[in-house]
């Protein structure tokens, strides 16, 4: 079965520290991978995506993620956390066509401490 797993429902970092949010997927076919951010009572905003090509993907707000096929992972990183990064982060995978539905991970709450 196709699935997405985010390791760690809650991650806490100090301002200026490295942010690492983990995402693993299971699939028998090449997936399209996405990271979204959600602020309270708002919809989802796309941070970055991987479809094909370069496995290191850069997104908005200084975030990047690397697709590692051998590890079936797509971890999200940011070198230096900012207070405004505190939010809920979702990894999502689309397995079928470009209009296929997204399967979301459980989400990770990022807390940034001053």
User: Residues in the site for another protein, rule: CB under 8 A?
Assistant: 32, 34, 36, 41-46, 49, 51, 90, 94, 98-107, 109
In angstroms, give the least distance from the CB of 101 to another protein. 6
Cβ closest to another protein, residue 28 vs residue 98: 98
**Bridge partners (DSSP) listed for residue 88:** 38, 109
**Cα–Cα distance measured from residue 32 to residue 38, given in angstroms and rounded to the nearest whole number:** 20
Closer residue to another protein (CB): 37 or 112: 37
> Interior CA angle at 55 toward 52 and 59, to 5°?
95
Residue 42 CA, chain-centre distance (Å), reads 17
Nearer CB in complex with another protein: 62/107:
107
Cα 80 to the center of its chain, rounded Å = 16
Shortest CB 16 distance to another protein, Å: 27
> What are the backbone dihedrals phi and psi of residue 35, each rounded to the nearest 5 degrees, phi first?
-125, 130
Minimum CB–partner distance for residue 55 and another protein (Å): 16
Q: At its nearest, how many Å lie between another protein and the CB of residue 9?
A: 9
Q: Let me know how many helices (H) and strands (E) the chain has, helices first.
A: 0, 11
Q: Which is nearer to another protein, 75 or 94 (CB)?
A: 94
């Amino acid at each position: 079965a196709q699935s997405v797993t985010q390791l760690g429902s809650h991650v806490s970092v100090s301002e200026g520290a490295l942010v690492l949010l983990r995402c693993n997927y299971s699939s028998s076919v090449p997936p399209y991978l996405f990271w979204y951010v959600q602020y309270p009572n708002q919809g989802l905003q796309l941070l970055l995506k991987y479809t094909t090509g370069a496995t290191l993907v850069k997104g908005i707000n200084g975030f990047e993620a690397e697709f590692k096929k051998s590890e079936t992972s797509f971890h999200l990183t940011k070198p230096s956390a900012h207070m405004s990064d505190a939010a809920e982060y979702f990894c999502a995978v689309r397995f079928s066509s470009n209009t296929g539905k997204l399967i979301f991970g459980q989400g990770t709450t990022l807390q940034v401490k001053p």
